[in-house]
Amino acid sequence: MAKQYDIVIIGAGPAGLAAGLYGGRAKMNTLIIEKEKDGGQIVITSEIENYPGSIEEESGVTLIERMAKQADKFGCDKVYDTVEEVDFSGDLKVVKCKKETYEAKAVIIAAGASPRKIGCPGEAEFTGKGVSYCATCDAAFFEDFEVYVVGGGDAAVEEAMYLTKFARKVHQVVRRDVLRAAASIQEKAFANPKLDFMWNSSIVEITGDGLVNHMVVKNNKTGELTEINADEEDGMFGIFVFIGYDPATKLFEGKVDMEKGYIKTDDQMRTNVPGVYAAGDCRVKELRQVVTAAADGAIAAWQAARYIDDLNAPKAEPVQEVKKEKKEMLEVDKNTFEEEVLKADGYVLVDYFGDGCVPCAALMPHVHEIADKYGDQMKFCSLNTTKARRLAIGQKVLGLPTITIYKDGAKVEELVKEDATAEAVLAMVEKYVTKK
């Protein structure tokens, strides 16, 4: 039987969390469904200066943590699950997820957007092996190495400056001969001695030996190709991609009106379907910023509450989640890794995580659940790469989160970054616990 709510919010970025806060304050039985991690794309931003009331040295991670606590304070429920199908045809809207099905009188779509890829050969293969879309998550791996940042907008230039705190040198790969970033950001960038610019350039191929150590760059004016190799002593370099985002709206095609992949709404966040709203970066709008996403979420929740009051329907009872006590995983370090992992009998799963890595923090409870279920059939360990960076690099782990299964000292399978979802980890574990 489907669990019922007044409002179901799809996505836990700034728009979804603001909607959850306003839904909870309106005494609506509200649920946020998030696929992977709270915050969406804002968590990869190392510094936020344009959100009103931000504290000093505010980052995407710190802002989202406070937003999530505020939504939770007002009784907004949250689950981590993947939405597979929606049905908006009736008074009760149906949201079908992998683990559970939910019904709601109103739905707010705050699905956000996902990082746009370069699209060149080798990019997918070396994601988490030198290619990254999150400076906050992966910058520490490249301390004293060279790094290339792709993009010329606000986010790309801000993240390039953040990476100069770690990398020996940062090269900004810009498609045109000018930056698109705000003038105040450009001024800081041009004054940074560790940052230089490769104008009219695009990366057309990425290769390496386990880790990225070679790429081909094309001059967009002359067509000339230049091969770039890692410093011989380094043996690798990093590529961070910040070239925009694509709306995560494919699931809603044919369900609500769209324009070029973005959901069409009026200024009250209402779609063409009564009781269905959209907020944040997934809707048609001119300015996509944290402050506008939060405003969208507040308006959407307020309108949804009014819509539900008009329906004059009885309120659903809040769903009480039953929390299962989790077993502790064995945390290994540089002194115990060889004995506990490489020399261990049978299959061993290692959850590579890092301090301040929001995707790692979001995934870890799911890994603990899997360990609780299969811990008697497979060994489960975790390793903090912030404290054991060289060990992680030696294991060719350059992106977080990374989930690796070992046997007899060798890797047998690995999930990296976006591929390391709770569902994928469970499927991988279940494949090996059945083997003798």
The residues that are catalytic are 134, 137-138
292: CB partners within 8 A, 6+ apart: 285
Residue 54: burial class (beta carbons within 10 Å; 0-12, 13-18, 19+)? middle
Q: What is the DSSP string of 151-211?
A: --SHHHHHHHHHHTTTSSEEEEE-SSSS--S-HHHHHHHHT-TTEEEETTEEEEEEEESSS
Per DSSP, the chain holds a count of helices (H) and strands (E) of: 10, 24
State the Rg of the chain over Cα.
23
Token pair 């939770």 is at which residue? 72
User: Which H helix or E strand runs over 61?
Assistant: helix 60-73
DSSP state of 98: S
Torsion of CA 152, 158, 164, 165, to 10 degrees: -170
Nearest alpha-carbon partner for 283 in 13, 71, 1? 13
Instruction: Name residues whose C-beta falls within 8 Å of residue 298's C-beta, 6 or more positions apart in sequence.
Output: 18, 19, 21, 22
Cis before 14 (ω within 30) = no
Q: How far is 286 from 258, CA to CA, in rounded Å?
A: 15
Please identify which residue in the block is written with the tokens 């304070």: 73
Whether the Cβ atoms of residue 395 and residue 348 lie closer than 8 Å to each other: no
b/e map of 359-384 (b: 16 or more CB within 10 Å)? Answer: bbbbbbebbbbbbbebbeebbbbbbb
Give the Cβ contact number of residue 287 at 10 Å.
7
Can you name the residues that pair with 207 across neighbouring β-strands? 214
With CA atoms as reference, report the closest residue to 59 among 165, 193, 167, 149. Answer: 165
